[in-house]
Amino acid sequence: MSIGVTCGIDWASDHHDVALIDQAGELLAKARIGEDAQGLQQLLDLLAAHGDSGQDPIPVAIETSHGLLVACLRATGRPIYAINPMAAARYRDRHAVSRKKSDHLDAMVLANILRTDAAMHRTLPADSELAQSIAVLARAQQDAVWDRTQAGNKLRSHLREYYPGYLAAVAPMADGLATPVARALLAAAPTPEQGARLTRTQLRAVVKKAGRQRGIDKEADRLHALLRVPQMRQLPLVEQAMGAKTLALLRQLEATCTSADELATAVAESFEKHPDAEIITSFPGLGSLTGARVLAEIGDDRSRFADARALKAYAGAAPVTRASGKSVSVTARRVKNQRLAAAGYVWAFAALTASQGARAHYDRRREGGDRHTAAQRNLFNRFLGCLHHCLTERITYVETVAFPTPSPQPEAVAA
């Protein structure tokens, strides 16, 4: 990697400002390129004119890790540094105390960051094409699940204002409003009046259409009784209007449920093709979907994390120690990969029933004074250390190695 010349790119939606500086901080070249193939070729020609080559590529700093420009630059094999915009803003004050700002100045700031502090920043990982595709699908599926939760909460909040009988009827269902039976029932009867008029035969048809195969008559009888329980009602016209709004919110929920299910299937199919899938799913609590989310965030570039400690910090599982004089505090890490942290809590929670060692570790942390969340985070931290070791050594998870049974203490000899 060339350290004599560095490149900074101030990213925008339709154009990019480029600045090249030498080791002394002198501006060598600047340009504004478009977000197209011609702009990319212009950038590559500019880099080549200042000594860029396959054996000694010029490093590039940019404030994003996504987009076509970043993808094309990564394909050339050059080191790409995705600089946090907040960090770049702090560096900007070193070059302009008047707090002035321009696209060209921002490009120069990014180039100077690599010139002076390249060792303090991390290049984008050299993940395989399959790992990058899994990351796209896993993140999209995770977003769809979050959208489904948000849509369900909005619908539940609306139903609480005029249709409490329906909420009581679907409360025992595992996935709540996202359950196919609950959605089919609401589509058939969006108002209390329509729900009370549904016959047992109609309810059996609704339950069967939703995919229920067993206990159809029993479920229909239960819904028939609950939908006829007297409840407070809105005025008739107001109730009809609220029913129309319910159908609109229901369509949004249906779309998110469909997206989440379809993406989950696509994620599982891609994840199972990856060579790391067998190792990751050997851990208790990790299936194809959660395992794909973990792989999407850590990637398959084994040089990305120097040790397990770096991976734990990246995931937010390792605590932060702040010490000043006689004051010492240990707190949870706030700056982290939020997607990996979210997957970690799901992983740790599922492992409690799949691994005796994990359950014992969690119970010890709870007995030691940890709250539920802190105990789960500590268990996630333990699993990440094991995962880093297994991926590095290319071995699968072994319960007795991860959670060895403590040897019995010898009895004290009577005096």
In a domain, 140, yes or no: yes
Both 98 and 182 in one domain: the answer is: no
Q: Is the pLDDT of residue 246 over 90?
A: yes
How far is residue 211's CA from residue 180's CA, in Å, rounded to a whole number?
Answer: 7
Both 94 and 44 in one domain: the answer is: yes
Least confident of 98-107, 251-260, 263-272, 377-386: 98-107
Both 150 and 265 in one domain: the answer is: yes
Which residue matches tokens 């609109």? 248
Q: Is the pLDDT of residue 408 over 80?
A: no
Q: Which one of 210, 235, 269 terminates a domain?
A: 269
CATH number at residue 111: 3.30.420.10
The phi, psi pair for 19, rounded to 5°, reads -135, 135
Q: What is the pLDDT of residue 382?
A: 95
In a domain, 411, yes or no: no
Mean pLDDT of the chain, nearest integer: 91
Both 95 and 175 in one domain: the answer is: no
Both 215 and 116 in one domain: the answer is: no
Both 263 and 284 in one domain: the answer is: no
**What confidence tier does 1 reach under pLDDT thresholds 50, 70, 90?**
very low
Q: Is the pLDDT of residue 274 over 70?
A: yes
Q: Which long-range contacts (CB under 8 A, 24 or more apart) does 298-307 make?
A: 298/340, 299/125, 299/127, 299/131, 299/135, 300/127, 300/128, 300/130, 300/131, 300/274, 300/275, 300/276, 301/125, 301/126, 301/127, 302/391, 302/392, 303/126, 304/122, 304/125, 305/388, 307/388
Number of CB atoms found within 10 A of residue 133's CB: 18
Least confident of 38-42, 45-49, 90-94: 90-94
Query: Mean pLDDT throughout 358-370?
Result: 95
Q: What is the pLDDT of residue 2?
A: 46
Q: Bridge-partner residues for 82, per DSSP?
A: 62
Q: What is the pLDDT of residue 407?
A: 59
Inter-residue contact 83 to 63 (CB < 8 Å): yes
Specify the number of domains making up the chain. 3
Q: Where are the alpha helices (H) located in 127-230, listed in sequence order? A: 129-159, 164-170, 180-188, 192-197, 200-209, 216-226
Q: What is the pLDDT of residue 193?
A: 93
In a domain, 162, yes or no: yes
Both 255 and 216 in one domain: the answer is: yes
Least confident of 10-14, 110-114, 394-398: 10-14
In a domain, 41, yes or no: yes
In a domain, 415, yes or no: no
pTM for the model: 0.86
Which residue matches tokens 């946090």? 84
Q: Is the pLDDT of residue 414 over 60?
A: no
Q: Tens digits of per-residue pLDDT, 116-130?
A: 888 888 899 989 999
Closest to 186 in 3D by CA, of 253, 119, 91: 253
Q: What is the DSSP letter of 120?
A: G
How far is residue 126's CA from residue 57's CA, in Å, rounded to a whole number?
Answer: 15
**What confidence tier does 409 reach under pLDDT thresholds 50, 70, 90?**
low
Both 13 and 99 in one domain: the answer is: yes
Q: What is the pLDDT of residue 89?
A: 84
Q: Which one of 97, 124, 151 terminates a domain?
A: 124
**What confidence tier does 100 reach under pLDDT thresholds 50, 70, 90?**
confident
Both 67 and 10 in one domain: the answer is: yes
Q: Which one of 210, 234, 269 terminates a domain?
A: 269
**What confidence tier does 85 reach under pLDDT thresholds 50, 70, 90?**
confident
Exposure of 387 in the CB half-sphere (CA atoms within 13 A): 30
Closest to 192 in 3D by CA, of 218, 168, 220, 217: 168
How far is residue 78's CA from residue 114's CA, in Å, rounded to a whole number?
Answer: 14
Both 101 and 21 in one domain: the answer is: yes
Q: Is the pLDDT of residue 87 over 50?
A: yes
Inter-residue contact 277 to 271 (CB < 8 Å): yes
Q: Quote the percentage of the chain above a pLDDT of 90.
A: 70
How far is residue 221's CA from residue 200's CA, in Å, rounded to a whole number?
Answer: 6
Domain range for 244 is 134-269
**Where does residue 414 rank: exposed (0-12), middle (13-18), buried (19+ CB within 10 A)?**
exposed
Query: Which is more confidently placed, 405 or 277?
Result: 277
**What confidence tier does 415 reach under pLDDT thresholds 50, 70, 90?**
very low
In a domain, 17, yes or no: yes
In a domain, 409, yes or no: no
In a domain, 408, yes or no: no
**DSSP SS3 for 59:** coil
**DSSP SS3 for 357:** helix
Both 147 and 236 in one domain: the answer is: yes
Q: Is the pLDDT of residue 44 over 80?
A: yes
Query: Mean pLDDT throughout 70-82?
Result: 90
Both 152 and 116 in one domain: the answer is: no
